[in-house]
Structure 1
Amino acid sequence: MVQETTALEIINLGQGLQVPNQGFGSMSLSGPYGSADDAQSLRTANHAIDAGVTFVDTANIYGEGHNEKLLAQVLKTRRDEVTLATKAGIVRPKNPGDPRANGEPAFIKKCLDESLQRLGVDEVDLYYYHRVDSRVPIEETVGAYADLVQAGKIRFIGLSEVTSNELRRAHAVHPIAAIQMEYSILSRDIERWLLPTASELGVGLVPYASLGRGFFTGAVDSVEQLEAKDFRRNFPRFTDENIGTNLTLRSRIYEVAAREGITPAQLSLAWVYEQAREFNVAVSPIPGTRFAAHVDENVAAASLRLSAQSLEELNTLADQVAGERQQDIYFVSKGREELQMAQA
């Protein structure tokens, strides 16, 4: 392991969007990984900004709007310091079988107005299309995002959980600044097609869940540890049938981290930075945490370089993981990517 510097670097994520090379994912401040205390959450968010983690990521569905309202208390005095990202497109189905995404232009625009009100701001720096609605051509949805750029309500457009084909089609309508995708040592399906496309188009990568939703850090050893409302209970890799295999893989991550003299969280993030260099993609991962000490631990990872031996060992693990990364792979990019490539 080589440590080069301790400060975050300001990068061009894509299309001129300047952000630090690590962001702050705020979703965990609103309870999906267990109970959260608002006062502590606000201290952590402010600490992140103080530490230079000024790229702050939220979404309208996090806590059903709670997350944006919480961040509004920070933005009230620190808006000029923050590059702010939020999202729209996911809906909570009322009945089984109802659509789980909505890409209708009117819906996207309505969601932004509601987000702006909750956040207490006039403009969002980066606005993501959170999940692709298969009923609406992506060109129509991105056209609505382009209208919002023209109206001065958003500065840059992002996409989350897209395929390489969808990225190309969207980018042809309006330049896309960033894609937000799950990406970690054990979740690497975007490498085959999407990362090369992003590199070609100059689109940055904002990885989420790079710490395995807390699994790599030792926060979870079994599903029984999780609170009843913790949404990790629904993820295949945490189920009883899969977690034993994945704990074995985690032990190997721990071994590599110990040899490098860093924590498993730092190793996981350092691996992401190494892969981004390999694929020539600008990257700003957004690890989320409720604790200020973890912010500092994560920031230190941006200055690390891993040995060739460690990279070689880590790069063998994804092929051995048990379970899909999310419960509905067709709601995320993997299933659609495979289908679209088979039809090409």
Structure 2
Amino acid sequence: MATREALWDYRDEFGDAFGRTYFRRFGPGVVSSVGIGTYLGEPTPAVDEASREAIGLALRSGVNHVDTAANYRCGRAERVVGEALRDAPVDRESVVVATKGGFLPFDGERPDDPSAYVRERFVDPGIVAPDDLANGAHAVTPEFLEWSLDRSLDRLGLESVDCYYVHNPETQLAARSREEVYDLLEAGFETLERRRAAGDLGAYGVATWDAFRVPEGDDAYLSLAEVLSRAERAGEAVGPDDDHGFAAIQLPFNVAMADAFTRRNQPAPPDADAEGPVSTLSFAHEAGLSVVTSASIGQGELAVEGAIPADVDATLAGETPAQRALNFARSAPGVTSSLVGTANPDHVRENVAAGTFDPLGASAFDAVFE
């Protein structure tokens, strides 16, 4: 698990090469505000090798945040992350490793009949019940999260992860009521609290796609305030004190998907100065939660000239569209780290170099939306 001393040592080794606020507080120490994701790519040995090299290059270049998930690339992504960590000339304790559980993972390749695979590998052995599933391949029951965390640790070859996300919990809204989803999350959080106490994870959170960006009345909406409240209850239930390990959220954020900043869809925290609803980024900041952005360059769509609106592009620092898009995401108030997935070493270097430019200040970022 990452430690305060090792994280700060990593920052001391690389920090002078980067711009203002490149390293930001996370967990026991600091983390790079550019992270490497592992979602994209086919489940093939060639992509394994390219991804392994890309992660290793990132770790050697000032990126100490690696994000993956049990289902990414049919389970191969986690294995590659673990291999890259073991091969890298940096201490494991200096790297924040995050993974996710929720989607039922395949084992190395896509089966010819996914439904039969789910039935034979998950339902028949009792890992999940048919009623646990949403959209045929998603579960967040305590039993499944426990199983999924164990399998992730096995694939990663690690004793612990630094952040474990419940993956896209809004998927469950296709099968049950919002209140039932909150109840499921609370039960799952109790399991994660016990695993945190056992030293298997440093913190946990939720990684979402729609839940915190859409209007309150949307079918995919979840209240971050209610999710956090359920984590607080889980912490109280598990003990030994009333602390809890819910520390981070992950959601899409980029110049074309800025809803987490622009849409006021969350109730204001009790101690906040705001009256009425606030944005998800504002709520997370007031609540002391780390925010990790996914799709930070729109899965490559913002990495081409002209993709960023000209008036916004002119305010951003960076030599390439990808760097400017990444620096937009890093500039949002409350954002801790912005993920970019790539298996291309040139793209890794380009993304890392984005961190040598200063992000926008808060007032300059606000002005973009005026």
Identify whether the pair has TM-score above 0.5, normalized to the shorter chain: yes
2:45 is equivalent to residue 12 of structure 1: no
Match of 1:91 in 2: 104
Q: Report the Cα distance in structure 2 between the residues aligned to 1:142 and 1:120, rounded to whole angstroms.
A: 23
2:70/2:152 contact within 8 Å kept: yes
Match of 1:156 in 2: 203
**Cα deviation 1:22-50 (Å, max 9, x = unaligned):** 2111222x428x99533222211110000
Q: Report the Cα distance in structure 2 between the residues aligned to 1:215 and 1:76, rounded to whole angstroms.
A: 32
Decide which of 173, 196, 200 is 2:286's aligned counterpart: 200
Q: Which residue identity does 2:135 align to in structure 1?
A: D
Match of 2:76 in 1: 66
Match of 2:228 in 1: 168
2:250 is equivalent to residue 180 of structure 1: yes
- Residue 252 and residue 195 in structure 1: after superposition, are their counterparts in 2 closer, same or farther (change >3 A)? closer
- Residue 190 and residue 73 in structure 1: after superposition, are their counterparts in 2 closer, same or farther (change >3 A)? same
Shift of residue 296, structure 1, vs aligned partner: 2.0
Shift of residue 255, structure 1, vs aligned partner: 8.2
2:281/2:335 contact within 8 Å kept: no
Q: Report the Cα distance in structure 2 between the residues aligned to 1:187 and 1:41, rounded to whole angstroms.
A: 26
- Residue 146 and residue 306 in structure 1: after superposition, are their counterparts in 2 closer, same or farther (change >3 A)? closer
Q: Report the Cα distance in structure 2 between the residues aligned to 1:283 and 1:269, rounded to whole angstroms.
A: 13
2:331 is equivalent to residue 274 of structure 1: yes
1:257/1:267 contact within 8 Å kept: no
**Cα deviation 1:44-90 (Å, max 9, x = unaligned):** 11100001111111100001211111222212244344221110012
Structure 2 gap ranges (5+): 1-14, 106-113, 117-132, 174-179, 212-222, 235-243, 265-278
Q: Which residue identity does 1:210 align to in structure 2?
A: S
Sequence identity percentage:
29
| 3-state SS, counterpart of residue 165 of structure 1 | helix
Shift of residue 257, structure 1, vs aligned partner: 5.4
Match of 2:320 in 1: 263
Q: Report the Cα distance in structure 1 between the residues aligned to 2:292 and 2:365, rounded to whole angstroms.
A: 21
Q: Which residue identity does 1:212 align to in structure 2?
A: G
**Cα deviation 1:309-343 (Å, max 9, x = unaligned):** 98578547xxxxxxxxxxxxxxxxxxxxxxxxxxx
Decide which of 246, 259, 276 is 1:189's aligned counterpart: 259
Shift of residue 212, structure 1, vs aligned partner: 0.9
Decide which of 24, 33, 36 is 1:24's aligned counterpart: 36
1:204/1:282 contact within 8 Å kept: yes
Q: Report the Cα distance in structure 2 between the residues aligned to 1:7 and 1:261, rounded to whole angstroms.
A: 13
2:351 is equivalent to residue 304 of structure 1: no
Shift of residue 17, structure 1, vs aligned partner: 5.3
- Residue 260 and residue 83 in structure 1: after superposition, are their counterparts in 2 closer, same or farther (change >3 A)? closer
| 3-state SS, counterpart of residue 155 of structure 2 | helix
2:53/2:84 contact within 8 Å kept: no
1:1-344 map, 5 Å: 6-7=17-18, 9-13=22-26, 15-16=27-28, 18-28=30-40, 30-31=41-42, 37-78=47-88, 79-91=92-104, 94=115, 98-132=135-169, 133-134=172-173, 135-136=180-181, 137=183, 138-161=185-208, 162=211, 163-172=223-232, 173=234, 174-191=244-261, 192=264, 193-218=279-304, 250=307, 252-253=309-310, 256=313, 262-276=319-333, 281-302=334-355, 303-306=357-360, 315=369
**Cα deviation 1:141-189 (Å, max 9, x = unaligned):** 1111111101211111121125423432244232422111000111122
**Cα deviation 1:258-298 (Å, max 9, x = unaligned):** 9856211111121122222xxxx241111111112212222
Q: Report the Cα distance in structure 2 between the residues aligned to 1:157 and 1:300, rounded to whole angstroms.
A: 29
Q: What is the RMSD of the two structures over their aligned residues, measured on CA atoms?
A: 3.3
Shift of residue 256, structure 1, vs aligned partner: 2.5
Q: Which residue identity does 2:347 align to in structure 1?
A: H
Q: Which has the higher contact order (CA 8 A, sep 6+)?
A: 1
Give the number of the structure whose residues are more often helix, by fraction. Answer: 1
2:196/2:245 contact within 8 Å kept: no
Shift of residue 97, structure 1, vs aligned partner: 6.9
**TM-score when normalising by structure 2:** 0.66
Q: Which residue identity does 1:69 align to in structure 2?
A: R
Shift of residue 105, structure 1, vs aligned partner: 0.3
**Cα deviation 1:184-212 (Å, max 9, x = unaligned):** 11112222231121111100110000101
Q: Report the Cα distance in structure 1 between the residues aligned to 2:316 and 2:101, rounded to whole angstroms.
A: 42
Q: Report the Cα distance in structure 1 between the residues aligned to 2:318 and 2:98, rounded to whole angstroms.
A: 33
Q: Report the Cα distance in structure 1 between the residues aligned to 2:251 and 2:93, rounded to whole angstroms.
A: 27
- Residue 50 and residue 86 in structure 1: after superposition, are their counterparts in 2 closer, same or farther (change >3 A)? same
Deviates more, 1:125-134 or 1:105-114: 125-134
Q: Which residue identity does 1:214 align to in structure 2?
A: G
Name the count of aligned residue pairs. Answer: 277
Deviates more, 1:74-83 or 1:57-66: 74-83
